[in-house]
Amino acid sequence: MEPAGTIAALALAGVTPDQITHVVLTHMHPDHIGGLYGEGPTFPNAELVVPKLENDFWSTQDSAAYKAKVAPLIDKARQINAGDEILPGITAEAAYGHTPGHTTYLLSAGDQRLLLTGDSFNHYAFSVSRPEWKVLYDNDKDAAIVTRKAVLARLAADRIPFFGYHMPFPAVGFIADTGEGSYRFMPATYQFSV
């Protein structure tokens, strides 16, 4: 993704890039960093927040996406660790496996919570109903399976709503436990009480 797509999506929400104060990365796959940098920084007033482990990894790889999108911004970026409250009510959590520093973020406000799951599970059917299946894009496939199972079990047990980057519209919903280590995506649109 290039910045134009990100800017167009923000415009639909009535937001201009200069209004963005923070950009927080779950990980540094190309489809998650492509909007950061074009002719210059896409978000000129924003602080970029990145998991330190993730940057440690990608900065040593021959990654064209990292070099084009993150490298120009990294000197001014804030590098964070799992467990850090990166902003009031936003806590970084380790979710390693998909990438070495893949990080989820728990948003809390009063008794309300929302988990940003990044790419902990990528497909709304396969990854959720069969979390033990290995995924092509997972860097450490066994670690990713452990993380995926843990994230899904927690979402189901605690009934935490989540936002998943690759989930179908509206990408926000819940995870229902269907038994024997298998789960189902329940889009928020079908939650009539929300």
Q: Which residue is nearest to Zn ion (CB)?
A: 29
Choice between 30 and 89, CB closer to Zn ion: 30
Q: How far is the CB of 172 from Zn ion (least distance, A)?
A: 19
CA 67, CA 58: separation in Å to the nearest integer?
9
- Residue 108 in 3-state DSSP? strand
Choice between 27 and 49, CB closer to Zn ion: 27
CA 179, CA 21: separation in Å to the nearest integer?
42
CA 76, CA 87: separation in Å to the nearest integer?
17
- Residue 158's φ and ψ, nearest 5 degrees, are -95, -5
CA 161, CA 175: separation in Å to the nearest integer?
8
Q: How far is the CB of 31 from Zn ion (least distance, A)?
A: 7
Choice between 17 and 98, CB closer to Zn ion: 98
Q: How far is the CB of 101 from Zn ion (least distance, A)?
A: 12
Q: How far is the CB of 75 from Zn ion (least distance, A)?
A: 24
Choice between 54 and 119, CB closer to Zn ion: 119
Choice between 17 and 35, CB closer to Zn ion: 35
Which among 168, 99, 93, 188 has a CA at the least distance from the CA of 128? 168
Binding site for Zn ion (CB under 5 A): 29, 119
Q: How far is the CB of 32 from Zn ion (least distance, A)?
A: 6
Q: How far is the CB of 191 from Zn ion (least distance, A)?
A: 26
CA 113, CA 89: separation in Å to the nearest integer?
9
Please give the DSSP secondary-structure letter assigned to residue 164.
Answer: E
- Beta carbons within 8 Å of 114's beta carbon, 6+ residues apart: 106, 107, 160, 161, 162, 163, 172
Choice between 73 and 135, CB closer to Zn ion: 135
